[in-house]
């Protein structure tokens, strides 16, 4: 008995810590799904413009408020979800045509200022319309954990499924549809695309629309976790950017994988190394490390120019 007691105590301690580790791992995967969707939206804009849309998070936040308002008016969640995705697509196209297009040939700094200005406008507009108090955003998934073990909430499980569905649809769109192939061609070689009759300008506008729609999904999946307020997507955007840099800023699905990796790494490092208070610094450390040691990312293309 004396020999068995320490074994049983140690075994209990190990299983308890294993359960905590699995919970952190599962939560990291769920958060990583949100970062993956947002990273995909960032990369879609970057491929077409070679610029990072700093307003992507605020656009997603504003779309999430639109869904919240529809749900508050009594509309079913999934009706509000798809209506928000559709409205966000139209809004992205309008923003590209009316605001971004006039600066197509402007210096890079002018475009960056436009993106920052858009971010501030959406943030202020959301605060003016809805206030700055934190709102709850209900999840469409049941409150009981799907797998019974309690390592992952129902919303986390559902958000992973939504993320995988979005990635599959985006892959099928760009791989098998004529419009998707035309958008890929316009992003990679706009001059040649124009010569074969592709309307490059409209391809760019549709790309903005898709990025806005995808970003709205990220916002609606993040809101039940981080709650809804005008500043809710600031940290999410930073993690998504870290994921895009890690996976490859010119590789959509590499960026998505990077988003999952950043979600898991951020959760584990935040829980076991630096603490949740400074967990956001993990994203900054990833960005700096990748830019120093592998600027093209894990799956990005290395461009070699002969001089």
pLDDT digits (tens, 9 = 90+) for 270-290: 777 776 667 778 788 888 888
CA 117 vs CA 61, 129, 306: distances in Å: 15, 18, 38
Which residue has better confidence, 99 or 47?
99
Q: Picking from 123-132, 135-144, 209-218, which range would have the lowest pLDDT averaged per residue?
A: 135-144
Residue 270 resides in a domain: no
Instruction: Give pLDDT tens digits for 92-107.
Output: 999 999 998 888 788 8
Q: How sure is the predictor about 185, in pLDDT bands with cuts at 50, 70 and 90?
A: confident
Q: What is the pLDDT of residue 2?
A: 43
Residue percentage of the chain with pLDDT more than 90? 42
pLDDT value at 88 more than 90? yes
Residue 22 resides in a domain: no
Residue 242 resides in a domain: no
Q: What is the pTM of this model?
A: 0.87
Question: Domain tally for the chain?
Answer: 1
Helix (H) or strand (E) holding 39: helix 4-49
For CA atoms 281, 287, 288, 290, give the dihedral sign. positive
Q: How sure is the predictor about 293, in pLDDT bands with cuts at 50, 70 and 90?
A: confident
**Helix 4-49 vs helix 154-176: crossing angle, to nearest 10:** 40
Q: What is the pLDDT of residue 7?
A: 41
Owner of token pair 């943030």: 123
CA 98 vs CA 81, 103, 114: distances in Å: 26, 10, 12
Residue 264 resides in a domain: no
Average pLDDT estimate for 121-141? 91
Q: What is the pLDDT of residue 49?
A: 80
Q: What is the pLDDT of residue 51?
A: 85
Q: Tokens representing 170?
A: 């985006």
Q: Based on DSSP, count helices (H) and strands (E) in the chain, helices before strands.
A: 11, 0
Q: What is the pLDDT of residue 58?
A: 95
Helix (H) or strand (E) holding 82: helix 77-95
What b/e sequence results for 268-285 when a residue is b if at least 16 CB atoms lie within 10 Å of its CB, and e otherwise? bbbbeeeeeeebbebbee
pLDDT value at 4 more than 50? no
Instruction: Give pLDDT tens digits for 146-175.
Output: 655 567 788 888 888 999 999 999 999 988
Average pLDDT estimate for 222-250? 90
Helix (H) or strand (E) holding 85: helix 77-95
Question: Mean pLDDT score of the chain, rounded to an integer?
Answer: 84
CA 107 vs CA 54, 102, 112, 161, 191: distances in Å: 16, 12, 9, 41, 20
Residue 173 resides in a domain: yes
**Do 152 and 23 contact (CB within 8 A), yes or no?**
yes
Q: What is the pLDDT of residue 21?
A: 79
Nearest residue to 246 (alpha-carbon basis) of 203, 211, 282: 282
Helix/strand/coil for 135: strand
**Domain containing 52: what range?**
29-232
Residue 160 resides in a domain: yes
Residue 243 resides in a domain: no
**Phi and psi torsions of 228, nearest 5°:** -105, 120
Average pLDDT estimate for 247-253? 85
pLDDT value at 218 more than 80? yes
Q: What is the pLDDT of residue 91?
A: 95
Residue 249 resides in a domain: no
């Amino acid at each position: 008995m004396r020999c068995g007691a320490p074994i049983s105590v140690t075994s209990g301690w190990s299983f308890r810590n294993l359960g905590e580790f699995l919970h952190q791992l599962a939560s990291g995967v769920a958060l990583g799904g949100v970062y993956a969707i947002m990273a995909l939206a960032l990369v879609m804009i970057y491929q077409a413009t070679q610029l990072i849309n700093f307003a992507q998070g605020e656009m997603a936040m504003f779309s999430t408020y639109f869904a919240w308002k529809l749900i508050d008016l009594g509309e079913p969640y999934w009706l509000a979800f798809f209506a928000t995705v559709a409205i966000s697509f139209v809004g992205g196209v309008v923003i590209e045509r009316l605001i971004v297009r006039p600066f197509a040939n402007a210096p890079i700094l002018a475009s960056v200022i436009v993106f920052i200005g858009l971010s501030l406008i959406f943030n202020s507009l959301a605060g003016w319309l809805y206030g700055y108090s934190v709102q709850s955003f209900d999840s469409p998934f049941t409150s009981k954990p799907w797998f019974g073990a309690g390592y992952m909430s129902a919303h986390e499980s559902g958000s992973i499924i939504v993320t995988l569905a979005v990635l599959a649809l985006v892959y099928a769109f760009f791989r098998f549809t004529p419009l998707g192939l035309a958008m890929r061609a316009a992003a990679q070689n706009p001059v040649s695309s124009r010569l074969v009759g592709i309307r490059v300008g409209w391809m760019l506008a549709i790309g903005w629309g898709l990025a806005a729609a995808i970003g709205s999904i990220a916002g609606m999946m993040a809101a039940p976790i981080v709650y809804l307020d005008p500043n809710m997507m600031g940290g999410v955007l930073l993690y998504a950017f870290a994921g895009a840099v890690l996976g490859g800023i010119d590789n959509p699905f590499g960026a998505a994988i990077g988003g999952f990796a950043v979600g898991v790494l951020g959760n584990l490092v935040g829980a076991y190394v630096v603490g949740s208070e400074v967990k956001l610094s993990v994203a900054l450390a990833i960005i700096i490390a990748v830019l120093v040691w592998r600027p093209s990312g894990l799956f990005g293309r290395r461009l070699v120019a002969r001089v």
